[in-house]
Amino acid sequence: MRIVFIIDQVYLHGGIERVLSIKANYFASQKGYEVFILTTEQKNKEACYHFDQNIVFEDLDVNYNRSKAYFHPVNLLKLPRHISKTKKAIRKIKPDVVVVCSHSTDTYFVPFINKKIPKVKEFHYSKFIEEYKRKNPGNLFKKLFLRFADYVETKYDTLVILNKDEDAYYESDNTTVIPNPLTFYPDNVSILESKKVISAGRIAQVKGYDLLVDIWAKLMEKNDSWTLHIYGKGLPEYEKQLQKQINDEGLQNSVFLEGSTDDIQGKMNSSSIFAMTSHNECFPLVLLEAQACGLPIVAFDCPHGPRNIIDSSNGILVPHYDNDAFAEQLSELMEDDDRLQQMGENARKNATKYRLELVMNQWEQMFKSLIN
């Protein structure tokens, strides 16, 4: 089988890039398939994740201006060359299937080129974020563009979405649910004896770390023996805002912004609870990683990711934005060693459903059905 993945770049750390490396490596190294990755703006930089040596990269050197919208006139001028180069590359490679990974300009024209080749579009974000915009488009152009986007989606052979709740946001009937695969399933897991809560992800407003700091301040009124460790990098302005909030609330000795880490597995194994306070999610891979390390999870029941991973046997879903309830549930779990251990065991078992071979088999069977 010959597979082409299309993405803007693979030199910046991100969830899409990470999942692509996992899928591409599996097909290239374990299945022996021919895998090609087309980028539009790699800029001769090294990939930030490991890719199998047999994977073939080709950069189309389009280089959109990332400080402007893709449909800004400056970027629209680059579109004809982008379309031409993509058509030429696909014609040369002659793939059995094409997969569009990132949500960039190529999303809107790939279904209309080389029509005999099956096309798949992945969605790594929740369309919940479009709900308000669709009800209140603001102007005619936005309204028409959303209709155009819906039309384009019908032209893909399959739209891969990450959880069943997302299906409600799609007008077309060509969706398939395939979750993200688990990146690791370690032999050694947390013994749940350290008084550490961990959270991890991109440091951005959508992750709601400011809410988590507020929750921690409430928690410290009853239980000041635990510490909170937040791992990740992101917007410098938001990081400064978070640190100021920590300082203002007098939490410097119990809340720590740890920056990025290459050993998230080790950090999870030295913690006892994972906390998530996001405004919205789709299918947060970090929750699977936490479960694989045997960590119970306390998370807001935000749209729509956590509820598709967590149940009452392996974690706690808190009503969205109820900081008091979050602090109370977290405090109760900290003080109940038996419940903590049982949830940790169940979390570990739940993670097995997302092991690499099981998820990648779904991808392989989908590819074969499209080709045949």
Set out the domains of the chain in order of their start, with CATH numbers. 2-180+355-371 (3.40.50.2000), 196-354 (3.40.50.2000)
| Cα separation, 161 vs 170, whole angstroms | 10
Residue 234 pLDDT level (bands cut at 50, 70, 90):
confident
Q: pLDDT band at 262, cuts 50/70/90? A: confident
Distances (CA, A) of 221 to 57, 183, 196, 321: 54, 37, 17, 19
* pLDDT of res. 139: 87
The secondary structure element, H or E, covering residue 132 is helix 131-135
Tokens of 208: 């709601």
pLDDT of residue 199: 98
Asked whether the beta carbons of 306 and 296 are under 8 A apart, the reply is no
Q: Which residue has the higher pLDDT, 144 or 97?
A: 97
41-65 confidence digits (pLDDT tens): 999 999 989 999 999 999 999 999 9
In the three-class reduction of DSSP (H, G, I as helix; E, B as strand; rest coil), residue 298 is classed as strand
**Over residues 21-30, mean pLDDT:** 96
Helix %, strand %, coil % for the chain, to 5?
45, 15, 40
Q: Which of 137-146, 193-202, 257-266, 269-278 has the lowest mean pLDDT?
A: 137-146
pLDDT at 12 over 90: no
The mean pLDDT of 167-179, rounded to a whole number, is: 93
What's 80-91 look like in SS3?
Answer: HHHHHHHHHHHH
Alpha-carbon distances of 329 from 186, 196, 276, 335, rounded to whole Å:
28, 15, 13, 10
Percent of the chain with pLDDT over 90: 83
Which tens digit of pLDDT belongs to each residue from 80-128?
999 999 999 999 999 999 999 989 999 999 999 999 999 999 999 888 8
Strand partners, 317: 299
In this prediction, residues 264-279 reach a mean pLDDT of 97
Output the pLDDT for position 241. Answer: 97
Q: In what order do the strands lie in the sheet with 158-161?
A: 56-59, 34-39, 2-6, 97-100, 119-122, 158-161, 175-177
- Cα 95 to Cα 22, 40, 92, 340, 359, distances in angstroms: 20, 18, 9, 49, 22
Q: How many CB atoms lie within 10 A of CB 142?
A: 13
pLDDT at 251 over 90: yes
Stretch 173-194: mean pLDDT = 94
Q: Are 20 and 7 in contact (CB under 8 A)?
A: yes
CA distance 204 to 236: 9
**What is the reported pLDDT for 69?**
85
